Amino acid sequence: MSPGEAPNVRGMGYWEMRAALEWQVSMGADEAILDAPVDRTVQPEPVAATPTEAEVVPKVDAVAVAADLTKGADSLEALRAAMEAFDLCELKLGAKQLVFADGQPGARVMIVGEAPGRDEDLQGKPFVGRAGQLLDLMFGHIGLSRETPDRETALYITNVLPWRPPQNRDPKPDEMAMMLPFLKRHVELIGPDVIVAMGNHACQALLGRRGITRLRGTWSEAMGVPVLPMFHPAYLLRTPEAKREAWADLLALKARLGGGG
C-alpha cells in the first residue's frame, strides 16, 4: 500500500484494522462522515450548562448580613468585633488590618472620612499620614483635638470603609453600601452633636450626594445628626488655595458648637 492509498479493510484482523484506523487519523480523518455536510464557517451556538442543585449558590445580601451583625453591637468593642467578623467585603483580603477609629468616645464632633490609606493601614488608626497631620492642625486652630479627654473639645474620627482599598483607589458604591450599617451603629454609639463629612465619598455615604465644592460649608443632616461637609485634607494638600474655604467651614463649626465666630 502506497503512503497516500487508503487501506482495504475487508478481511483484516483486529490489529490490521487498528493500524488502518490509525492511518486514517494520521491522514486527518478524525471524525465519522455525517449524513449532511458541516459548514465550518459558522460559529456554533454555545451550549449553556444546566447547573445542578448543588451548584446553585444563592446570592448573599451583604447589606442585610452587616445589619444583622450590628444588632448585637451594644458597645464600641462589640461593634469592632462585628466588623472583624464581616467577611463579605473583599477589601479585607488585601488590607493589613481593620482601621476602626481614633479619638475620644462621646466627643461632640465626629469626623467621617472615606477609607484608610497606606499609613493608616500600617498603624491601624485613621488620619495618621500627611492628611492626618493637616487635619490635626486644622481642628487644633479652633480648639479641638483627638487627644483631649474633655468631651467639649474632643474629636472622634472614623471612616466609611475600615479597610484600605488597593492602591488607594476610590471606594466603590457596593463597598460603601455594605459598610453603611456599621457606620450608622457607630454614630449611634458615639452620639455626637455634629458630624463632619470629609470629602465626596463621606458625603455620598452620609447624605447620598456628591459634589463637595457645592456641598461644603452647608449644613445638612444624616442619621439624625447635623452634618457639615468639608474638603478632605488630602485635597487641601493638593489644592492649597482651597484652605480659605476650609477655614470658613472650621469657623462655622466653632460657632455651631457655641464657640463664637
Is 83:182 a contact under the CB 8 Å cutoff? yes
- pLDDT score for 184: 98
Number of alpha carbons in the 13 Å side-chain half-sphere of residue 236: 21
Residue 134 C-alpha cell reads as 493637616
Is 179:161 a contact under the CB 8 Å cutoff? yes
pLDDT truncated to tens, each residue of the chain (261 aa)? Answer: 555 555 565 666 777 777 777 877 787 776 666 666 666 677 667 766 666 655 666 789 999 999 999 999 999 999 999 999 999 999 999 999 999 999 999 999 999 999 999 999 999 999 999 999 999 999 999 999 999 999 999 999 999 999 999 999 999 999 999 999 999 999 999 999 999 999 999 999 999 999 999 999 999 999 999 999 999 999 999 999 999 999 999 999 999 999 654
The answer to whether the pTM exceeds 0.85 is no
- pLDDT score for 261: 44
Residue 225 backbone dihedrals phi, psi, to 5 degrees: -125, 140
Pairing of strands 109-113, 155-159: parallel
Q: Exposed, middle or buried, 119 (CB in 10 Å: 0-12/13-18/19+)?
A: middle
**Packing angle of the helix pair 200-207, 173-190 (nearest 10 deg):** 70
CA dihedral 129→130→132→137, nearest 10 degrees, is: 150
CA 19, CA 150: separation in Å to the nearest integer?
94
Rg of the chain over Cα atoms, rounded to whole angstroms, equals: 32
Q: What is the CATH number of domain 62-256?
A: 3.40.470.10
* Cβ atoms within 10 Å of 247's Cβ, excluding its own: 13
Cell 490609606, located at residue: 117
CA 115, CA 247: separation in Å to the nearest integer?
23
Domain boundaries, the chain: 62-256
Angle (CA) 126-105-92 rounded to 5° is 35
Is 113:199 a contact under the CB 8 Å cutoff? yes
What's the first-to-final CA gap in the chain, in angstroms? Answer: 107
Integer angstrom CA distances of residue 182 from 52, 138, 168, 204: 36, 27, 21, 15
Q: Which amino acid is at 180?
A: L
SS3 category, 69? helix
Pairing of strands 155-159, 194-198: unpaired
CA 164, CA 143: separation in Å to the nearest integer?
30
Residue 15 C-alpha cell reads as 490489529
Is 12:22 a contact under the CB 8 Å cutoff? no
Sheet holding 220-222, edge to edge: 102-103, 155-159, 109-113, 194-198, 225-230, 220-222
